[in-house]
Every structure is written in C-alpha cells, then in structure tokens.
Amino acid sequence: MAYAKKPAKADDTYQKLKADIAAGTPETAYLFYGEESYLREYYLGELRRVLVPAGFEEFNYHCLEGRELTAQALAEMVEAMPMMAERTMIVVTDWDLFKLNEDQREKLVTLLSDVPPYCCVVFVYDTVEYKPNRTMKKLCAALDKQVRTVEFRPADNSDLVAWIARRFKALGKEIDRTTAEYLIFTCGGLMTGLVQEIHKIGTYAKGKSITQKDIDAVADPVLDAVVFDMTNAITAGDYDRAARLLDELLKQQEEPFLLLGAIGKELRKIYTARLAIDTGRDKRWLMDLWGYRSDYPVKLLLGAAKKTTADWCADAVKMCQILDRRLKSERGIDAPGELKLLLVRLGVQRR
C-alpha cells in the first residue's frame, strides 16, 4: 500500500489554514480538495465554528451545489451582508471552475478580485476531480492570488499513529505503535475509513490494549491488504489460503481485471524487494521507490521477498502481464477462472 509524500507547498497551505482558524482570521476565499475527506470536513466545520455564530446559520451560512450554479448567482450571495454576525460563509461544492465557459470565467475572475472582507467563500471539490487547466491564465492567476488552495492528503505516518492512539484513548483503550501501523496497513491510511474501524474494534475488544487479533476479528481490510495476504501466502507456498482469499474477493463482486492489476502490482513490489536484498539496498530505497511514509509495509515486503528468488519474481510478473493482455484482447474469456489458474501457476512455479 503506497503512501504518497506531502510536498512542502501543500503542507504550507494546510498549516496556514490551521493558523487562520486558530487566530480567528480566515481569509476571504479557499479551495479545498484531496482524498482525505475526514480532514476536509473537519476544517470546514472549524471554519463554520469561527465564522458563523450559533443560531444564525440560516442567515450567514450557505451551501451551494456547483452543478447549475452561475457566477452571477454566487456574486449575489457573496454581496449579501451578514446578519447579527461579522461574516458570512458560503460553501460551493463540486463547481468545476475550469469547465466554465469564457463568459462565466470572466465573471468569476471579477468576483474573486473583490470578495468583501465580511464573506468567506470555500470551493470544495468532492466527487469532482480538481484538475487546474493552466491554459486558462486569467482564472489561474486569480486563483493563485485571491484563493488559498488547500490539499487534504493522507496524514504522515507519525501523525496518523498519534491520531489513532487518541481515538482509542477516547474509547478507553490503548494501542501501541506496531499495532497501529498494522491497522493502517490493514484498513488504509485515510482517517475517513479508519474512524468507523476504530469504533468497531474499540467496541469489540475485551482488554484495555488493542491487539492484532482484535483488528482481524472485526475490521474490513482494504483490497491492497487482502492482495498482499494472498501474494504472501503464495510466496510461503500456502496455495490453499491464497485460493480462499481470491474466492472471497470474487464473491464480493470485485472486478477480475481490477484484482489482476492489484496482484500484478504487489508482485512487482515483491520483485523490487527481492532485488533490494540481492543488491544490498536498504529499506529507504524501497520506501522512496514506492512512496511509503512508514517502513512497516517495507518490512512485510522484505519478509515476503526472502521466500522467493529473483527468477521466480520475474516469471510471476510476466505471467500477470500475459494474462492482462489476454483479458484486454480476447472475447468471452472466463476472467475469474483465469485468475484462479494464475494462482495455480504461481504456486507450481513456487514449488
């Protein structure tokens, strides 16, 4: 499971947002995007807490859907004075600014250059992907100058481990670092998905300290974790376990083509780990190569790779590539059956 690094610029804008809220001085315009929706919703709530007095939300807090929104309609709402408060807050969701026609873009540029100090507009990209089009120079210049753009990425590993510990502490439980990293590996590195899993695990666990067995008993693993378990079983010569895991994924209606891609990617990771072992490279090389923020998954990769040879890894990757081409080119192919045959061939090669 890869964890992307956080660019300094993205971190700077995130820290500036936190500082704005702490000081009670939010700017007049923000743009929020990124896969960590938990943090995005949290900071939207914090902005609302700072800007909009309780009891006056109807007059000073407005949510707009971007699908049919016009720049004129937004401008009218921006110009509306706050009632019994110092500022208003307007949240615009999924308004793809780079798909507006030229007339609407011009009006938006004008609006952004003159957002009144009593208003805070927040453009939120949720289901729509944020893809700036740098050919639209006026709009990009206006956004760069007038709007604080904040990307919500997965938290750094140390921050995420600390956050997990705080969530369990609120439930009267404890979790050590290694177990927290196992939870991240099993359930993914997004707070959005971890919140529910932490609640389930904390409710289920009988002891004060959370264990890996508690996590395995009730947590729903992400696809990458299951696929790693499957490929790890193959490298350990446990074909029966690998087949059971594949059957479970197919019963859950996972797309065979998607599964093949995940299996192929995991085998490529194991291959690079095997090469690292053979060439004397350290864990940091693998972390940089795959964008991991923690060495925990690297240790697992190296453990799996130690049970293989470079030749086996190369053959395994090639088998996945051949099946990928067949699934893309042949009609009427039994994709689930071919995936099962792939595991058999990998198991035979392993012996």
Cβ atoms within 10 Å of 268's Cβ, excluding its own: 16
CB distance 253 to 221 below 8 Å: no
Distance CA 239, CA 283 (A): 28
pLDDT score recorded for residue 350? 64
The radius of gyration of the chain from alpha carbons, rounded to an integer in Å, stands at: 25
Q: Which domains does the chain have, with CATH numbers?
A: 8-151 (3.40.50.300), 157-218 (1.10.8.60), 223-350 (1.20.272.10)
pLDDT score recorded for residue 8? 40
Nearest to 310 by CA among 347, 348, 270: 270
**Mean pLDDT by groups of 10 residues along the chain of 351 residues:** 43 91 96 96 96 89 94 96 94 97 96 96 96 95 96 92 97 97 95 96 97 97 95 91 95 94 96 97 94 92 95 96 94 93 86 56
Distance CA 230, CA 243 (A): 8
CB distance 105 to 143 below 8 Å: no
Q: Is the dihedral of CA 57, 58, 61, 65 positive or negative?
A: positive
Alpha carbon 26 to its chain's center: 26
Q: What's 13-64 look like in SS3?
A: HHHHHHHHHHHCCCCCEEEEECCCHHHHHHHHHHHHHHHCCCCCHHHHEEEE
Distance CA 320, CA 203 (A): 41
Cα dihedral angle (137, 138, 140, 142), rounded to 10 degrees? Answer: 160
Maximum distance among all Cα pairs of the chain, rounded to whole angstroms: 76
Residue 317: exposure state from Cβ atoms within 10 A (0-12, 13-18, ≥19) = middle
Provide the β-strand partners of residue 65. 93
CB distance 293 to 157 below 8 Å: yes
Distance CA 12, CA 269 (A): 32
Pairing of strands 119-124, 29-33: parallel
Phi (first) and psi of residue 332, to 5 degrees: 70, 15
Can you give the pTM of this predicted structure? 0.82
Helix (H) / strand (E) containing 92: strand 88-93
